[in-house]
């Protein structure tokens, strides 16, 4: 389960964007008209940037999310009113499902199995929309007239509202329980923005501003995803070595640094396999990320981790590090295979040092922490050595 703090932060970023554009629509009579005149051009330019960057970084999920908005907007502007009303119905029904599907499908490139599945699903969607726009169908008419709720949500049909609420509930559950919070939270607010834009269709500029806000949310998500790939470890979700180097460059004169290593990890991998070893890394990482005392944990590489304590010394941080060691050592880890389950315990060794005037840079401090780590291993492991 994700923490309330993490949920608030990740939901708050796209929600802030949504609220800004909602206020623009609400106060549209007071907003200079040229803002609304240039907004469509900025929207198209932003969509082009998203598509280009997504293609360049092989993140095709963003392409498939922004393309339908472009097609819907183009349809609203260029097709006859009767067909536009059918396009509105198709969009309100299909796009929430579209968001859910493309959140679920894995990111594996255009020419992988997952990429082909995305292209196939998107092609089917386009085919359905073109068919509905050009041929009258009894099934579609039945959906249009289907009554589910006592209250009217005009211009949205009841079937569209039912689908929107179903997808909304799934996104909410994913935000609470799924680890990919950065995506789940943004997709939730994307859905809300889209639904409200459709609902306030008759309000001046509502749809345009809803789509514009969604494009900005997608662009911000793309930037955050690029940052995550560069600075965070994929397996453990911890900041990686690049993030550590960046943060070390910002340190003041006083700080403490810890180098941590999982005891006998190679032997563990050889005995139980790399998949189980990955689970051990995740478990240890989850404990280290909860470090108290103002520390920040990083995955340095392999089974090694680093913790930085800015503006702290070894006396202030030793207890926090030792509590981490004890928590990990007393946490049962269950190894499962086809025959039986076995409970084992994982230990770590740690070397703790603080900066001094003799250190040329933080890497010299890290070297001393590494030496203290080796002393901890020589002292029998499962211990913290304070140099």
Distances (CA, A) of 127 to 135, 219, 305: 12, 27, 51
Q: 10 Å Cβ neighbour count for 176?
A: 13
> Boundaries of CATH 3.30.70.270 in the chain?
241-386
Please report where in the chains the tokens 């990482």 appear, as a residue.
285
For position 234, what pLDDT does the model report?
87
Tell me: the pLDDT tens digits for 146-202? 889 989 899 999 999 999 999 999 999 999 998 788 999 999 999 999 999 999 999
**Residue 164 and residue 72 in contact, taking contact as beta carbons nearer than 8 Å:** no
Task: Please provide residue 79's backbone torsions phi and psi, each rounded to the nearest 5 degrees.
Answer: -100, 165
Gap between the Cα atoms of 278 and 286, Å rounded: 12
Q: Which long-range contacts (CB under 8 A, 24 or more apart) does 141-148 make?
A: 143/93, 144/89
For position 48, what pLDDT does the model report?
96
Pairing of strands 332-336, 341-345: antiparallel
**Residue 25 and residue 206 in contact, taking contact as beta carbons nearer than 8 Å:** yes
Mean pLDDT of 334-357: 86
For position 377, what pLDDT does the model report?
92
Which residues does 331 contact at the CB level (< 8 Å), separation at least 6? Answer: 283, 287, 345, 346
- Indicate the SS3 state at residue 203: coil
Confidence of residue 126 (pLDDT cuts 50, 70, 90): very high
**Residue 194 and residue 214 in contact, taking contact as beta carbons nearer than 8 Å:** yes
107: nearest Cα among 180, 171, 44, 178: 180
For position 92, what pLDDT does the model report?
95
Pairing of strands 384-386, 348-354: parallel
Confidence of residue 57 (pLDDT cuts 50, 70, 90): confident
Mean pLDDT of 325-340: 86
Residue 338 in this model has a pLDDT that exceeds 70: no
Tell me: the pLDDT tens digits for 68-106? 999 999 999 999 988 999 999 999 999 999 999 999 887
Q: Which CATH superfamily is domain 241-386 in?
A: Reverse transcriptase/Diguanylate cyclase domain (3.30.70.270)
For position 135, what pLDDT does the model report?
87
205: nearest Cα among 33, 69, 386, 363: 33
């Amino acid at each position: 389960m994700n923490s309330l703090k993490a949920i608030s932060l990740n939901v708050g970023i796209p929600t802030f964007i949504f609220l800004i554009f909602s206020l623009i629509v609400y106060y549209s009579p007071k907003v200079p008209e040229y803002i609304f005149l240039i907004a469509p051009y900025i929207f198209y330019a932003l969509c082009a940037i998203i598509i280009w960057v997504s293609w360049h970084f092989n993140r095709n999920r963003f392409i498939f999310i922004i393309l339908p908005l472009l097609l819907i907007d183009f349809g609203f502007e260029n097709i006859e009113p009767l067909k536009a009303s059918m396009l509105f119905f198709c969009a309100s029904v299909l796009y929430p499902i579209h968001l859910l599907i493309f959140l679920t499908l894995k990111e594996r490139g255009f020419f992988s199995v997952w990429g082909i599945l995305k292209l196939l699903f998107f092609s089917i969607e386009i085919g359905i929309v073109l068919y509905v726009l050009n041929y009258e169908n009894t099934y579609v008419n039945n959906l249009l007239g289907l009554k589910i709720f006592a209250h009217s949500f005009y211009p949205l049909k009841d079937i569209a509202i039912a689908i929107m609420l179903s997808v909304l509930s799934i996104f909410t559950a994913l935000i609470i329980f799924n680890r990919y919070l950065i995506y789940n939270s943004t997709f939730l607010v994307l859905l809300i923005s889209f639904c409200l834009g459709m609902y306030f269709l008759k309000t001046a500029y509502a749809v345009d501003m809803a789509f514009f806000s969604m494009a900005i949310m997608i662009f911000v998500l793309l930037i955050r995803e690029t940052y995550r790939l560069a600075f965070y470890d994929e397996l453990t979700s911890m900041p990686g070595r690049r993030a550590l180097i960046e943060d070390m460059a910002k340190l003041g004169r006083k700080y403490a640094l810890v180098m941590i290593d999982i005891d006998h990890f190679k032997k563990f991998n050889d005995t139980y396999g790399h998949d189980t070893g990955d689970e051990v890394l995740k478990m240890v990482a989850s404990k280290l990320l909860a470090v108290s005392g103002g520390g920040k944990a990083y995955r340095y590489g392999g089974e090694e981790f680093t913790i930085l304590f800015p503006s702290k010394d070894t006396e202030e941080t030793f207890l926090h590090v030792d509590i981490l060691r004890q928590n990990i050592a007393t946490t049962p880890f269950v190894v499962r295979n086809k025959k039986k389950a076995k409970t084992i315990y994982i230990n770590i060794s740690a070397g703790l040092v603080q900066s001094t005037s003799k250190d040329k840079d933080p890497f010299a401090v890290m070297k001393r922490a590494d030496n203290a780590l080796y002393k901890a291993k020589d002292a029998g492991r499962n211990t913290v050595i304070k140099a």
